[in-house]
Structure 1
Amino acid sequence: MSAKLETTSPDGAKVSINIHDRNEEKALINSKAVHVIDPAEAANSLGTFKEQEPAAQRIALRTYPRRWAVLAVVALLNCFNTMIWIAFSPISNHVSNFYGEKDSATYFSGIFIFVTIPVGLVAMWSGGRFGLRSSILVAAWANGIGAAIRLASSFLPDSLIHLRFPVGITGQGVAALAYPFIMFLPTKVAAVWFPDTERTLATTIGVMANPLGVLVANLVSPMLVESCEQLSVLNLLLSIPSISLTAFATFAITSSEPKIPPTVSASQKNYPFFRGIKECITNPQYWVLMFVMGGGIGMFNTLYTLMQQLLCPSGYSNMFSGTAAALLITGGVVGATGASIFVDRTKFYEETMKVSMGLAVVFGLAFLQFVLHVGMKPWLLVTCFIFGVFGLAAYPVGLQLSAECTFPVSETTSTGLVVISGQIQTIIYLALMRTLARPLQPLYRKNEVCTLVRAAAIELLKEPPQTCGHGTLSQAEQTVEPYDYTMAVIAMSVVATLAVLVLILVFRPKLRRLEVESGGIRLLDTTATDSKKEGAPEEADLEEMKPSHAAEEEEQNDQQGKEEEKPTNE
């Protein structure tokens, strides 16, 4: 019996040794002419050789505990900024008295919606150009400075009291500049700092801080402010956490991304801004998602804004309206959390999105029908809660889908266009609802409780007036007129039904980011020159994985070498 053993000499040359028996093999091993590797050591040395192309780029992956601190800053920014936005809405009469301007609360709230659209484009560009840290700091400082300016409007001397509203609305405008930066951050933070098993959950935590801020503002503002003089206390309590968070973010957020990425996709360079915009607007699946997701955001904002005006004509009190709104958001937190955990584990993005949106439309339409009838309190509360569960569950999943189907477009761009679409559709739907609303017919006025606001105002006006330096509002300015929203409800029902049908029948996304991470698509080349690193690849992206030219040449050389060795071995 003979066998051939190949080894390498000290000078690197290959040596073939013929072994005729077992004793000769043992003698060679004992003389250390050959090196024997333990099977376990050999397997460990090979690593994942069988699972990865030899020529493929190997990337180290790692997660850092610091990712939760980054996410906490973004979530708190979202919550505090939303509270500054919404806090005046439940106490509009006191706000108007304090600032001496009719509909002051409307101006303080509306400026956020209108600022988001133009500033949103700047926020998307700067996030990709200057990095995540710059976006967080811009948002934190804008929010903190805006809160401080609005606080200053509460303590102007009597000689400058006529400037109270201009100063206050200026501070509100500065704080509004932070909103578009904040709304685009959660998906970017999730993509850059979190592994794929936590991405949707991280996005949920970041975005659900927004409705949580709405809920807290609606609960706290009426409790703190019972007269216009107490508005200064509210401004103080809102400014303290915002200013403190500004300082914390400045020192806690030290980098835009971790040194070692958590996922393969996080290691890849994104497209530059205008290339990313082009990729989004030329992607039919993204258009569907942008229309449907933007519509969902717009309808949710419209429903929440008009909740009291929809319910009071049918005899439902302000307390009941507040309860319904609280259940809507509570259900949303529950649904979004559950959906994010499910999607992170299963990767069923498309299926979860379609089921959530479909059921949200069903229960949303049921809620809109119930608001037109009296005596439906239990049904209204149940449908409102379930609508929140499925409606807000679709939100973080949809944002992740926008990043998936447009990769390697920056998440700030793909998410930003969806949010801007939502703000535009909010304006359209609010205008549509108010245009189609008709004065309530005398036959149905026996049930309405909208004008009870006027009765309460009359009772308040019997007490010593609270001037706050400007005088009180007239009784007419305290009145909430009842309207019949039947036609508006029908119109919104048609729009919602069409949107969900388009989503179910047309939306067929390709999860490009997941394909990169699963190895089904060749990694983008980020090892070239510095100029190429800053931009995206200019050739066709995301090609099916195939050996590179260098790998092909190396394979050919190996084949030639084997052919040359055959005669000597023989």
Structure 2
Amino acid sequence: MTDAKFLTQHDGPQVYVTYKKRYVGLFAIVLLNLATGFVWLTYSPVASAAEGYLNCDTTIVNLTSILYFVAYLVTSPASGWMFEKKGIKKSLLFGALIQLVGAWLRYFASLIESTPGNSGGRLALTLVGQVIAAGAQPFFLNVPPKFAAVWFSENGRTTATMIGSVSNAFAAAVAQLVIPAITTSPETMADSVLICAIIATVAVIPVFFMADRPPTPPSPSAAEALLETSEEPFWVSLKKVGKNKQFLILMFVFGTFVGFFNAFSSLIVQFSEPFKYSANDAGYFGAAMIVAGLVGAGIAGPVIDRNKQYKLLLKCMVPVATLFYIIFNFVVRENMFIAIIVVSALLGFCSFAMLPVILELGVECTYPVTPSSSTSLLWASGQLFAVVFLLVLGELQDNEKAVSTGVSPPLVFIAVWCVVSTAPIYFFKSGYLRMEAERRSRQNKGVVGKASPQDFEDISLDVKGDVKV
């Protein structure tokens, strides 16, 4: 294939092309995120069964979730370095294989006999497998904005980022429904672990069929990224992003809401148990939040792609999501199942709409640094906050107090923290640096409105493409 610095139609104005093969890569990212969601939440939604299966206490079961967040913080820089040095496809394949190994080690642990007096072997191998699988998570969470920036035009980037990013949360919703349904006792726990290992295996397959980069760029900013012989070193980009005050505001807000979602997903059974709700009931609460969230994100992505009002949406959604966290304190009561479902859904709708918006804003306010730098720091803040919140909320959990007073201390903490975190978002004033650069580029170079890949005779294309400009 000919290496061209820019794509022209018979020496005419520059055009930008998108390719259908981008959907293969997006599907691979979605499937990998689905798998990591299942592996993450194999044990915590069925804490009682997991305790019997591993012969451990609740703290160890909670640790299986905490390890995911800690491992992310450790391996996230490595994922950014690999994206820079090895490209998207090889990095995803590396992460997929790590997840595969960890998932199967957890299943092999089920073949080791475990009793209350001799639980070490199964428990140790399970935790080792969980740590290895958790180390793959940043390869899947960090990639959607970078993949969207390289493969999609500016009229589709937010939607692509949304699809890739919320797939992990969708997996969490499905896992909270499926895992309790198939794990009815400690004896059936091994079946759930096996199913998760199979899902992790299937998730590897699409990666082999994706392309690492498009033959030609879909946008001016993608053209820069694709044509540079060497990107700015990841650590240099990371340092620049970390000094950006506007970006730090996004980190705090993103960390708060992602951290609470992760903590909520992991501990929702414990929050609702004092009010006589079962693990299956808690699964419905989490699923309602996530399914409605997917609808919210699904609406927000295309709408924002059309009107580009990222800041307006964010400043509306943050206080509304905070309001629903406050309302939670008044509906988590006995015999309030429908009310909890409704508030969970409304909270999820607002919260998930923010996810692709903040990820794209992170790229916009730090441009021209590589998207993997801003994305990795945003997700790292979410995972770090999740670890802190899990530890704090676990300590605050008091079933007797919740029953006697009707108030859940962890939910009060969540509401208060969200109120505090609302104010900083109104100090976010950054412009849309990437979109402004693309607008200038189009004005300077001129762009053809319509074109067909067959028009570009000097370049052989291996996939059919739609043209977006």
Corresponding position: 1:62 with 2:17: yes
Alpha-carbon shift at residue 106 of structure 1 (Å):
2.6
- Classify the secondary structure of the residue corresponding to 1:94: helix
Q: What aligned pairs does 1:185-200 form with structure 2 within 5 A after superposition?
A: 185-200=143-158
Where does residue 455 of structure 2 map in the other structure? Answer: none
For residues 382 and 267 of structure 1, the distance between their equivalents in structure 2, rounded to whole angstroms, comes to 45
For residues 347 and 512 of structure 1, the distance between their equivalents in structure 2, rounded to whole angstroms, comes to 12
Q: 2:415 aligns with which of 476, 490, 493?
A: 493
Where does residue 71 of structure 2 map in the other structure? Answer: 115
Number of matched pairs = 428
Q: 1:304 aligns with which of 259, 265, 273?
A: 265
Q: 2:213 aligns with which of 257, 268, 288?
A: 257
Corresponding position: 1:87 with 2:49: no
Alpha-carbon shift at residue 392 of structure 1 (Å):
0.8
For residues 185 and 73 of structure 2, the distance between their equivalents in structure 1, rounded to whole angstroms, comes to 34
Contact 2:180 2:283 in 1 (8 A): no
Where does residue 230 of structure 1 map in the other structure? Answer: 188
Where does residue 390 of structure 1 map in the other structure? Answer: 350
CA deviations 1:504-547 (Å, max 9, x no partner) are: 2x011211111121116999xxxxxxxxxxxxxxxxxxxxxxxx
Where does residue 101 of structure 2 map in the other structure? Answer: 145
Alpha-carbon shift at residue 133 of structure 1 (Å):
1.6
- Classify the secondary structure of the residue corresponding to 1:63: strand
Amino acid of the structure 2 residue aligned with 1:216 = V
Alpha-carbon shift at residue 232 of structure 1 (Å):
2.8
Give ranges in structure 2 of 5+ residues lacking alignment: 1-8, 226-230, 445-469
- Classify the secondary structure of the residue corresponding to 1:155: coil
For residues 383 and 401 of structure 1, the distance between their equivalents in structure 2, rounded to whole angstroms, comes to 27
Alpha-carbon shift at residue 374 of structure 1 (Å):
4.8
Change (3 A) 1:311 1:163: closer
Where does residue 462 of structure 2 map in the other structure? Answer: none
Superposed CA RMSD: 2.7
Where does residue 517 of structure 1 map in the other structure? Answer: 438
Corresponding position: 1:401 with 2:361: yes
CA deviations 1:369-416 (Å, max 9, x no partner) are: 332x55544433222211110111101111011011111111111011
Contact 2:325 2:414 in 1 (8 A): no
Q: 1:165 aligns with which of 123, 126, 139?
A: 123
For residues 246 and 105 of structure 2, the distance between their equivalents in structure 1, rounded to whole angstroms, comes to 43
Q: What aligned pairs does 1:368-517 form with structure 2 within 5 A after superposition?
A: 368-371=329-332, 373-374=333-334, 376-438=336-398, 440-441=400-401, 444-445=403-404, 485-486=408-409, 488-504=410-426, 506-517=427-438
For residues 350 and 209 of structure 1, the distance between their equivalents in structure 2, rounded to whole angstroms, comes to 23
Q: What aligned pairs does 1:209-228 form with structure 2 within 5 A after superposition?
A: 209-228=167-186
For residues 90 and 111 of structure 1, the distance between their equivalents in structure 2, rounded to whole angstroms, comes to 15
For residues 79 and 364 of structure 1, the distance between their equivalents in structure 2, rounded to whole angstroms, comes to 26
Alpha-carbon shift at residue 46 of structure 1 (Å):
10
For residues 435 and 508 of structure 1, the distance between their equivalents in structure 2, rounded to whole angstroms, comes to 37
Contact 2:142 2:375 in 1 (8 A): yes
For residues 46 and 232 of structure 1, the distance between their equivalents in structure 2, rounded to whole angstroms, comes to 62
Alpha-carbon shift at residue 346 of structure 1 (Å):
0.9
Question: Rg: which structure is higher?
Answer: 1
Amino acid of the structure 2 residue aligned with 1:232 = A
Change (3 A) 1:116 1:194: same
Structure of higher RCO (CA pairs closer than 8 Å, 6+ residues apart): 2
- Classify the secondary structure of the residue corresponding to 1:96: helix
CA deviations 1:189-219 (Å, max 9, x no partner) are: 1111111111111111111111111122122
Alpha-carbon shift at residue 245 of structure 1 (Å):
2.7
Q: What aligned pairs does 1:275-354 form with structure 2 within 5 A after superposition?
A: 275-354=236-315
Contact 1:108 1:172 in 2 (8 A): yes
Percent of aligned positions with the same letter in both sequences? 28
Contact 2:42 2:175 in 1 (8 A): yes
Amino acid of the structure 1 residue aligned with 2:438 = E
Corresponding position: 1:100 with 2:55: yes
Give ranges in structure 1 of 5+ residues lacking alignment: 1-43, 49-57, 449-483, 524-570
Where does residue 240 of structure 1 map in the other structure? Answer: 198
For residues 441 and 299 of structure 1, the distance between their equivalents in structure 2, rounded to whole angstroms, comes to 22
Alpha-carbon shift at residue 441 of structure 1 (Å):
4.5
- Classify the secondary structure of the residue corresponding to 1:440: helix
Report the TM-score, using the length of structure 2 for normalisation. Answer: 0.84
Amino acid of the structure 2 residue aligned with 1:148 = W
